[in-house]
């Protein structure tokens, strides 16, 4: 207030407007409270009680264990027991909890270089770089690839970290409608109309950037369509596989694996270890010559903190299991079964759900944001934790619940969720059709 009176804008910018109002709404009963323990098949939340009509609350000191439909734990590796946890614990004792340094200096451990080699091999590229954060990977890779005079064509639903990196690069940015090949082609034609398609002129480079699996929609990229345009218009392609790596494809190797497309046809494959691997961090994989240049020029590599040894151990152990025959395959098959089972079950109950059948991200549409607090509250009463999403992650009028399915869920877990959705859906009048015929 003092600063405003002095004629300056407050330092917190426009926080007072939208976000403050959103915070006051307290729309997500499940997660406006800290969690304890491991975010696996179950997640434990701190109990709280409301103390007045302004919805102030206090924590009671007790906890509730809930069925977890909120974490990106697609393959169930976020657990405190099993090979991943054992190796991470062992590494913590042997190598410590941090490298206390940046990747560019003395902080690249043997585990770090091994993980780079292993992830490159896993996604089918020659080489890779590993970062301590997925967000930083996107934010710092784009400025190292493109600059002023280049053009980025970006899907309208791309993640904030892609948009952040793209803006930081100084390249021109055009946005095409989500997964819409006709719109992408229109923008490509427009971009090269004054030049020659084969040379990207008048642009130095044209980079198309998409995600493998879109985290709010549950849609898979139309990769065959993009590859067809790539043949004709000769752009570079950057795919963010944060949600698809380890989660889609018969071998869990992402969208190339899913669509049977040779990964060598795509210049940059980026992904994160935060989801299917149950760890932290990001990677970018490409041919050796690109990776060598990025290692020398990408600020996230030069100035970024190295991933910690226990995190690298978790990644390595998860990778080994996904790539190994029996156990990894079993988890992938379980994830596909669970995703299809829940999606079909919700449709049969009359809900509108977005996304493709094989997507473990299942958005259940509420549309009206005013129904979000009640949905969250009713689920919590049934000991199920869910994430409800609205603006700025989605348009306000497309508010939704976003379930994340895991290979760790059992059929009984999903049946319990379906019964809860049935009850809450009737009470809140959010079933928009009479459902499709047939039992579960």
Which residues sit at the interface with ligand PMP, rule CB under 6 A? 133-135, 138, 159, 161, 211, 215, 240, 242-243, 272, 274, 282
Cα–Cα distance between 316 and 360 in angstroms, integer? 23
| Residues making up the chain, counted from first to last | 440
Q: Cβ of residue 282: shortest distance to ligand PMP, in angstroms?
A: 5
Q: Which is nearer to ligand PMP, 116 or 240 (CB)?
A: 240
Q: Which is nearer to ligand PMP, 266 or 418 (CB)?
A: 266
DSSP state of 343: H
Of 183, 239, 186, 244, nearest to 213 by C-alpha is 244
- Bridge partner list, 365: 400
Q: Cβ of residue 257: shortest distance to ligand PMP, in angstroms?
A: 18
Q: Cβ of residue 84: shortest distance to ligand PMP, in angstroms?
A: 17
> Which tokens go with 31?
């997660």
Q: Which is nearer to ligand PMP, 243 or 334 (CB)?
A: 243
> Which tokens go with 43?
């997640």
Q: Which is nearer to ligand PMP, 138 or 203 (CB)?
A: 138
Q: Cβ of residue 345: shortest distance to ligand PMP, in angstroms?
A: 25
Q: Cβ of residue 158: shortest distance to ligand PMP, in angstroms?
A: 7
Q: Cβ of residue 8: shortest distance to ligand PMP, in angstroms?
A: 33
Cα–Cα distance between 195 and 391 in angstroms, integer? 39
- The whole-angstrom distance between residue 339's C-alpha and the CA centroid of its chain comes to 16
Cα–Cα distance between 220 and 74 in angstroms, integer? 15
- Bridge partner list, 46: 63
Q: Parallel, antiparallel, or unpaired for β 282-286 and 127-131?
A: antiparallel
Cα–Cα distance between 98 and 151 in angstroms, integer? 38
Contact 173, 166 (CB under 8 A): yes
Q: Which is nearer to ligand PMP, 280 or 321 (CB)?
A: 280
Q: Name residues whose C-beta falls within 8 Å of residue 235's C-beta, 6 or more positions apart in sequence.
A: 153, 188, 200, 206, 207, 208, 229
Q: Cβ of residue 213: shortest distance to ligand PMP, in angstroms?
A: 8
> Which tokens go with 181?
């090949």
Q: Name residues whose C-beta falls within 8 Å of residue 54's C-beta, 6 or more positions apart in sequence.
A: none
DSSP, residue by residue, 35-67: EES--SSEEEEEEEEE-STT--EEEEEEEEEEE
Q: Cβ of residue 135: shortest distance to ligand PMP, in angstroms?
A: 4
Q: Which is nearer to ligand PMP, 282 or 328 (CB)?
A: 282
Q: Which is nearer to ligand PMP, 285 or 414 (CB)?
A: 285
Q: Cβ of residue 15: shortest distance to ligand PMP, in angstroms?
A: 22
Q: Which is nearer to ligand PMP, 159 or 334 (CB)?
A: 159
Q: Which is nearer to ligand PMP, 278 or 345 (CB)?
A: 278
- Residue 289: Cβ within 10 Å count: 10
DSSP state of 71: S
Of 270, 287, 293, nearest to 165 by C-alpha is 270
């Amino acid at each position: 207030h003092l600063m405003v009176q002095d004629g300056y804008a407050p330092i917190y910018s426009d926080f007072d407007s939208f976000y403050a109002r959103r915070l006051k709404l307290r729309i997500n009963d499940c997660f406006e409270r800290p969690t304890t323990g491991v975010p696996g098949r179950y997640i434990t939340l701190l109990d709280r009680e409301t103390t007045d009509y302004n919805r102030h609350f206090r924590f009671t000191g007790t906890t509730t264990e809930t069925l977890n439909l909120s974490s990106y734990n697609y393959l169930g590796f976020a657990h405190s027991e099993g090979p991943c946890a054992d190796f991470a614990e062992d590494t913590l004792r042997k190598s410590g909890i941090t490298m206390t340094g940046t990747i560019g200096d003395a902080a690249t451990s043997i585990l770090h270089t091994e993980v780079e080699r292993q992830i490159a091999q896993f996604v089918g590229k020659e080489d890779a770089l590993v970062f301590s954060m997925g967000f930083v990977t996107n934010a710092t890779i784009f400025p190292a690839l493109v600059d002023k005079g280049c053009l980025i064509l970006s899907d309208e639903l791309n993640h904030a970290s892609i948009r952040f990196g793209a803006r930081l690069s100084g390249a021109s940015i055009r946005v095409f409608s989500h997964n819409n090949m006709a719109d992408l082609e229109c923008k490509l034609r427009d971009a090269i109309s004054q030049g020659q398609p084969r040379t990207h002129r008048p642009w130095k480079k044209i980079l198309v950037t998409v995600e493998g699996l879109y985290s709010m929609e549950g849609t898979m990229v139309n990769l065959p369509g993009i590859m067809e345009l790539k043949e004709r218009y000769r752009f570079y392609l950057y795919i963010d596989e944060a949600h698809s790596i380890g989660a889609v494809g018969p071998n869990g190797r992402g969208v190339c694996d899913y669509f049977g497309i040779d990964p060598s046809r795509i210049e940059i494959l980026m992904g994160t270890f935060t989801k299917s691997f149950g760890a932290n961090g990001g990677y970018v994989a490409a041919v050796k010559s690109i990776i060598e240049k990025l290692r020398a020029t990408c600020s996230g590599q030069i100035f970024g903190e190295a991933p910690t040894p226990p995190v690298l151990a978790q990644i390595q152990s998860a990778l080994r299991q996904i790539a190994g025959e029996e156990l990894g395959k079993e988890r992938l098959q379980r994830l596909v079964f669970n995703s299809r089972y829940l999606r079909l079950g919700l449709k049969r109950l009359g809900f509108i759900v977005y996304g493709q059948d094989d997507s473990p991200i299942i958005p259940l549409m509420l549309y009206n944001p005013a129904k979000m607090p009640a949905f969250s509250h009713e689920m919590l009463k049934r000991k199920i934790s869910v994430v409800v999403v609205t603006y700025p992650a989605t348009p306000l009028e497309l508010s939704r619940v976003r379930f994340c399915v895991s290979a760790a869920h059992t059929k009984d877990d999903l049946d319990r969720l379906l019964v809860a959705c049935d009850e809450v859906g009737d009470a809140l009048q959010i079933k928009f059709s009479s459902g499709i015929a047939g039992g579960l």
